[in-house]
Structure 1
Amino acid sequence: MAAALFVIDIQNDLATDPSSKIPHASRIRSSGEKIISAARAALQAQENNTASRLKTIIFVQHEEAPENGTMVRGSDPWKLVFEPIPGEATERLVPKWTRDTFDSNPGLAAELKASEIDEIIAFGIQSECCVESTCSGALAAGFTVTLLSGAHSTYDSDGKPADVIEREVEERLSSQGVKVVSWEEIVAGWA
């Protein structure tokens, strides 16, 4: 069986725009760059018959109607910081309109399972919104789920700093059966 890496909503509005980015955007961009680079190397090595469970990278892109927010299809805030390589069979873009990627794409779970994928490895933005909802959706769809600690974050909210919210999300997901692993440990395993 195999794993899919989900890169969730690392978009300009949340990760690069000085007026709207999350407080830890630079950490997410930096860890994301390293994770994706290592994943691409692992996928390339797999083509040369070395062992890696990683089978695909899925770039998740949130979009909303103009009256609901800034991430309108085609706009600069909507654009991804990291994009799939055009024509690369092991990478793909998956749009979504709800917090849970699987809810927005009802056939996605069956499609991944048909490709022998049984694990979802997730990171991105926002921890308590789309990251948590997609992890829960993947669990509900029958996948093993791994959340990459240190590679997801959000806004400060309700008097709590973002890093406290990150830990709370990790605790909630862990109690549901999600494995929480540092992104560095996953990357080292792919090397």
Structure 2
Amino acid sequence: MTNGSSPTPPSSNAVLTDTGKEALLPTPERVLLVLGAQVALLSDAPLGVPAAGTVGSNIMSVLAAARAAPKHERPRIVHVQNSGTSGDPDEPHTPGWALVYTPLPDEYVLDKCKNSAFAGTSLEKHVPCDAELIVIGLQSDFCVRATCSEALARGNEVVLIRGAHATYDRLEVWDGEKTTPADQVAREIEEELEEAGVILLDMEDLPNIFTDR
């Protein structure tokens, strides 16, 4: 592992899940969405993304800041775990599927099978349409892009934190099979989402992200 965190998979009685507890905590004004922070993606290359070490550390820092925020400013925290198909690195109940950061008892865990974390899940129940949604995780050009886009369409104010999301290098099959580096792909997604209305913040903004800005 690149970030020193134990890849302990969540247990159903350690987190608030759809099947574990029906009652949600008080309606939040802000939600932190941690997408795909799983062992397969945050392992050393080539299994994990090229920036696994840096982005893993930054995700951990954002999560720590959210958890340390004053009670009246603390966001609802939702971890979204991607479930791949048979043979995928994130096939359910394999080592690569496990969450890297163990959820706390008042945090939520949802499983997804599609790019958007809203598709086929109960995420809309956890994210009010008037809440600010702060997004971190993986992968930039799949789950991050699709989830941010759908959240904008719902009417949420969406914040994406640079340096706390990442992806793999992209093979350009229609351009002589050239490769676009992962960091360039991430920047392209940031530009696309910013044009659509997503607010981009940097890791340097972290001390103020979970305050009443």
CA contact (8 A) 2:65 2:206 kept: no
1:142-157 paired onto structure 2 within 5 Å: 142-157=155-170
**Shift of the alpha carbon at 1:70?**
2.4
Q: CA separation of 1:150/1:19 partners in 2, compared to 1, >3 Å: closer, same or farther?
A: closer
Aligned to 1:108: 123
* 1:1-191 alignment, distance < 5 Å: 2-42=29-69, 45-46=70-71, 49=72, 52=73, 54-66=74-86, 69-85=88-104, 88-89=105-106, 91-105=107-121, 107-113=122-128, 118-158=131-171, 159-190=179-210
Q: Could you tell me which runs of 5 or more consecutive residues in structure 2 were left unpaired when the two chains were aligned.
A: 1-27, 172-178
- Structure 1 residues without counterparts, runs of 5 or longer: none
Q: Would you say the 8 A contact 2:114–2:120 is kept in 1?
A: yes
- Residue 112 of structure 1: how far off its partner (Å): 2.5
Say whether the 8 Å CA contact 2:79–2:109 is kept in structure 1: yes
The answer to which structure has the higher helix fraction is 1
CA contact (8 A) 1:32 1:151 kept: yes
Contact kept? 1:55, 1:117, Cα under 8 Å:
no
Distance 2:135 2:63 in 1: 12
Q: TM-score, normalised by structure 2?
A: 0.77
Q: Which amino acid aligns with 2:109?
A: L
Structure 1 length-normalised TM: 0.85
Contact between 1:4 and 1:117, CA under 8 Å: does it hold in 2?
no
Measure, in 2, the Cα distance between the counterparts of 1:4 and 1:100: 16
Percent of matched pairs sharing the same residue: 32
Following superposition, the deviation at residue 94 of structure 1 comes to 1.1
Q: Distance in 1 between matches of 2:39 and 2:114?
A: 18
Write the deviation string for residues 108-162 of structure 1: whole angstroms up to 9, x where unpaired: 324432xx85111001111111111111111122211000111111111132111
**How many residues of Structure 1 are paired with residues of Structure 2 in the alignment?**
177
Pick the structure with greater CA Rg. Answer: 2
Say whether the 8 Å CA contact 2:44–2:52 is kept in structure 1. Answer: no
Deviations 1:12-61 (A, max 9, x none): 1110154411100001111011111111001xx21xx5xx2x43111110
Determine the C-alpha separation between the residues in 1 that align with 2:36 and 2:75. Answer: 20
Amino acid at match of 1:164: Q
